[in-house]
Amino acid sequence: MTAPAWWAAVPAATTILDCGDARHELRWEAGQLHLEGHADVEAERTLGALGAEVPTCLRVRDAWAAHATDPALVTLGRRPGEPGLGFAPEHAPPLVGGLHTPPKRPRPSEPGRREALVTLLSLPVAFVDRLALTAMADAAERWPDPSFRERHGLRLGAGLAARAGPALHRFGRPLAAAGEVVLVHATPCPPAGRVSIRAERTGRGVEVSASLPISWLSRVWGPGLSEPDGRFVIALRRSGEVDVAEWMAVGVDRWEAERRPAQLARNDDTGAWRLRTTRP
Amino acid sequence: MRATTDPTGGTADRRGEAHLWLLLEEALLAVRSADVEPWEAWRSYRAVADALISTDLVDASVAHALVGELDDALAVRGVIPAGAFSAAPWPDVDVLRRPRPATPPGAATTWLEAEIERHLDLLASFSVEAQGRAARDLVRIVGGPVRAFEAVGHLSGRDAVALQGEVVASLDAAGVDPGGPAEPDAEPRAEWVAFLRNRPPSLPEPFVSTDARLPARTLGPLADTTTRLDAIAWTTDAIRLELTVRPPRGEIRSGATTAPLHARILDDTGCLHLGQPVRAGRSGGGLHVFLRPGFGPGVRGFDLRLTRGGERLEVSVPL
């Protein structure tokens, strides 16, 4: 059985948009954006091309379709611990009309990248999170392409390090003595490369070096699966099953993390993920 | 946090870009801290980007694109005004692969010493009360490029510690609070200490010289330009150098040849004279460089150091 789609563990999100004189529901579910209240999108698009005002919902949908896989979203998206981000409608740059007000003149049929990103980043943060996850998932798909890696590899590597770093730091903490520094170096695996997590005590402290796939961002970190019960999740195997990391000593002051299968369950009261380790 | 492996499988020259991506993440972390003023985080980032551009350790368009990426990330977080959001596209691989001139050995130290002296000149203008904060800013701001040069392999850890130690020790010896103790074996630089202690007055406006010489001497090549010292004029408060800079024929190289020119003089009485860098136009031409203090009695000659980017030219000039 193959691993589930990256969006399988990401809950749906909904919001209400002021769209002309109406209020329409915008919903993200199963990796897709859904519009309610626009029965004939193509007809409305044709009217827009002829100079009619383009409804807000269509602007959002077109911007999402065109830019949801933009690697810049990995840089723009939230890092661990950030409370929220995005443009408040009243603070959106003057070039782009407020998301919840009708545009004063017909929108161009293909808004530029800046206008589209501002539109998307003016959505509620739950949508911005899913937008960033979409970009991360697409980056994981394109990772085997050498020219994609050459152009975006350093950006994605830094984005992976920023999101995996805090969890890896907590994972390495038990290896360190009281007051000893824990340093983390997290880098992306090359295509078809092996995941590895190692630790070594050096003159600088305990240094944790991790090589993780880019897909870890969308499949593990994004859905909030990276640290159930304080354990570090390496990969999602199939629905409800993960590989967690456990330290094994491989020498004096040297450790390697081994994979241990475990089952996930969600706490009904808190919504937090919990796990149960299963030994092979 | 440190990304140590370039996942692109590209050239080792991408280390400068890799370091700036790492710093971008650190800047985003820093601005969430109550201890860091967001604009200071941005300034520190720019200081490192400028250092790597000036020494040709990163392509200027790539570095500027990265500054734009940080701007956008800060704008979407409400740290800077939303109008700063540009969404400028990331450079194509052709730009990322563009060959850059090799950075000469010692470029990092050369650039850092000029930058430190630029700050010392600014520091000397502050009141005693403001100097302490300015000194701590100096140590912090210079620390970013030091770390960057170390990360890209152009400054050894030992040299980094030694240079930073000299700065702190010099500030301390001059009676300026550097914000922390110097390394135990760090030695202050005598000329830096004397410059700060003497608190040279501001440059006079207008400058009316009391003496002058016309060496009309070609000093030599500097970062693909040729510089000539046409004239030097002075008072006891200030020195004016008149230079002519001629760029090479053909395409002007990015980075060093458009980097500002920094001049400093150490005269034969041991007095240091500093000023602010000046920028020549792309087609070259004449420059006036002002340094302070001026020459006192008994000066018979001086050592002139010109720095552009990571390259340096030193000549002795008799008066």
- Nearest CA-CA distance, residue A248 and chain B, Å: 23
Q: Which residues of A touch B72 (CB under 8 A)?
A: 72, 75-76
- Nearest CA-CA distance, residue A236 and chain B, Å: 23
Task: Please indicate whether, in this complex, the C-beta atoms of B8 and A186 are within 8 angstroms of each other.
Answer: no
Distance separating alpha carbons of residues B290 and B233, to the nearest angstrom:
10
A112 φ, ψ (degrees, to nearest 5): -70, 175
Residue B206 CB partners (closer than 8 Å, separation 6+) = none
Task: Please indicate whether, in this complex, the C-beta atoms of A91 and B97 are within 8 angstroms of each other.
Answer: no
For B77, nearest residue in chain A (alpha carbons): A85
In a mutational test of the B interface, the residue from A151, A194, A198, A209 whose CB has the highest number of chain B CBs within 10 Å is A151
For B27, nearest residue in chain A (alpha carbons): A162
In a mutational test of the A interface, the residue from B66, B85, B92, B93 whose CB has the highest number of chain A CBs within 10 Å is B85
Q: Which residues of B touch A93 (CB under 8 A)?
A: 82-83, 85
Task: Please indicate whether, in this complex, the C-beta atoms of B32 and A209 are within 8 angstroms of each other.
Answer: no
Q: What separation in angstroms does the CA of A166 have from each of A75, A77, A115?
A: 17, 16, 33
- Strand A13-19 to strand A273-277: parallel, antiparallel, or no bridges (unpaired)? unpaired
In a mutational test of the A interface, the residue from B72, B77, B80 whose CB has the highest number of chain A CBs within 10 Å is B77
Q: pLDDT tens digit string along A144-160? A: 999 999 999 999 999 99
Tokens describing residue A149: 């890696």
Task: Please indicate whether, in this complex, the C-beta atoms of B1 and A162 are within 8 angstroms of each other.
Answer: yes
Which segments of chain B have a pLDDT < 50?
Answer: 1-6, 8-12, 251, 255-256
Distance separating alpha carbons of residues A105 and A70, to the nearest angstrom:
27
Q: What is the pLDDT of residue B299?
A: 96
Nearest to A92 among B5, B18, B82 (CB): B82
**E-only strand ranges, chain B:** 211-213, 217-222, 225-234, 239-246, 261-267, 272-273, 285-291, 301-308, 311-318
Task: Please indicate whether, in this complex, the C-beta atoms of A85 and B77 are within 8 angstroms of each other.
Answer: yes
Q: pLDDT tens digit string along B205-225? A: 899 999 999 999 999 988 888
| Secondary structure, 3-state, B181-196 | CCCCCCCCCHHHHHHH
Partner residues linked to A48 by β-bridges = none
- Nearest CA-CA distance, residue B21 and chain A, Å: 6
Q: What is the pLDDT of residue A104?
A: 42
Q: What is the pLDDT of residue A238?
A: 84
Q: How far apart are the first and last CA of chain A?
A: 17
- Nearest CA-CA distance, residue B181 and chain A, Å: 21
Distance separating alpha carbons of residues A197 and B152, to the nearest angstrom:
24
Task: Please indicate whether, in this complex, the C-beta atoms of B14 and A154 are within 8 angstroms of each other.
Answer: yes
Write the DSSP symbol of residue A217: I
In a mutational test of the B interface, the residue from A154, A182, A198, A207 whose CB has the highest number of chain B CBs within 10 Å is A154
Q: Using an 8 Å Cβ cutoff, are A133 and A6 in contact?
A: yes
Task: Please indicate whether, in this complex, the C-beta atoms of B87 and A72 are within 8 angstroms of each other.
Answer: yes
Q: Which residues of B touch A185 (CB under 8 A)?
A: 1-4
- Nearest CA-CA distance, residue A279 and chain B, Å: 32
Write the DSSP symbol of residue B287: E
Q: What is the pLDDT of residue A83?
A: 86
* ipTM value > 0.90: no
Q: What is the pLDDT of residue A39?
A: 67
- Nearest CA-CA distance, residue B250 and chain A, Å: 30
Is the omega angle on the peptide bond into residue B206 within 30 degrees of 0, that is, cis? Answer: yes
Task: Please indicate whether, in this complex, the C-beta atoms of A79 and B24 are within 8 angstroms of each other.
Answer: no
Partner residues linked to A257 by β-bridges = A247
For B79, nearest residue in chain A (alpha carbons): A85
The predicted model scores a pTM of 0.88
Task: Please indicate whether, in this complex, the C-beta atoms of A157 and B7 are within 8 angstroms of each other.
Answer: yes
Task: Please indicate whether, in this complex, the C-beta atoms of A151 and B3 are within 8 angstroms of each other.
Answer: no
Q: What is the rounded average pLDDT for all residues in chain A?
A: 87
Q: Using an 8 Å Cβ cutoff, are B9 and A146 in contact?
A: yes
Distance separating alpha carbons of residues A123 and A98, to the nearest angstrom:
11
- Nearest CA-CA distance, residue A85 and chain B, Å: 5
The string of DSSP letters for B14-45 reads GHHHHHHHHHHHHHHHHTTSTTS-HHHHHHHH
Q: Which residues of A touch B (CB under 8 A)?
A: 71-72, 75-76, 79, 81-82, 85-88, 91-94, 113-114, 117-118, 121, 146-147, 149-159, 161-162, 165, 183-188, 190, 209, 211
Q: What is the pLDDT of residue B2?
A: 39
For B2, nearest residue in chain A (alpha carbons): A185
The dihedral through the CA atoms of B191, B193, B197, B202 has a sign that is positive
- Nearest CA-CA distance, residue B72 and chain A, Å: 7
Q: pLDDT tens digit string along A220-248? A: 999 999 999 889 999 998 888 999 999 99
Q: What is the pLDDT of residue B75?
A: 94
Nearest to B87 among A117, A183, A185 (CB): A117
Count CB pairs under 8 A between chains A and B: 116
Which segments of chain A have a pLDDT < 50?
Answer: 93-110
